[in-house]
Amino acid sequence: MAKAFAVTTKGMEEVQVMFKVLPKRTANKIVPKALKKAAKVVVKSAKSKVDTSVRFKFKADKDGIAKEVSSKQLKKIAAQIRGKAGNKYVIIGVKVAKKDPFYNLGNWMEFGTLAKRTEPLIKSRSAKGQAAVSSGIGLIKHPFMRPAFLETKNEVEKIFKQEVLLEIPKEVEKMLVKGKV
């Protein structure tokens, strides 16, 4: 399973103070919009970094049909806002249904398969596993999500901060018009 990693913003102390002063519902309206807008940059970069030349071949299923899939399917990258009120975050990844047989395709591309591992294994492979490796089964890693994030992280932080600072006055104005605080 892929290890998750998190990012926190720095240099936004003023914004954090404003969110503490303003009602929680204000932050719950502003943060998801800002996250969505900032995530678009990472999504665009990740789509451009997918190596579309990779093909996956799967052995025949019970009906005798062999499947072949192209890594072009990994271009379906999207961002989803998740989290509870006051603790919103964004998940960026390949859109695939859990029941899809190629559910792990993104992970295989990003991290490679065990058969083509570049670091030595702690425990040696089984005879069957070693035979699979020797026959050429497996995939060398072709990372696209991590490089996309690393390339755009400064821009993402800037967009997020800018969007939050633009939306706060709008939300305050709405509260003043409604007369609710």
Bridge partners (DSSP) listed for residue 88: 83
**DSSP H helical segments within 8-143, as ranges?**
13-21, 24-49, 105-111, 127-134
Among 27-36, 40-49, 124-133, 164-173, where is mean pLDDT lowest? 124-133
Bridge partners for 65 per DSSP: none
Plot region of 141 (φ>0 → left; ψ -120 to 50 → alpha; else → beta): beta
Note the pTM of the prediction, 2 decimals. Answer: 0.72
Helix (H, G, I), strand (E, B) or coil at 57: strand
pLDDT at 56 > cutoff 90: no
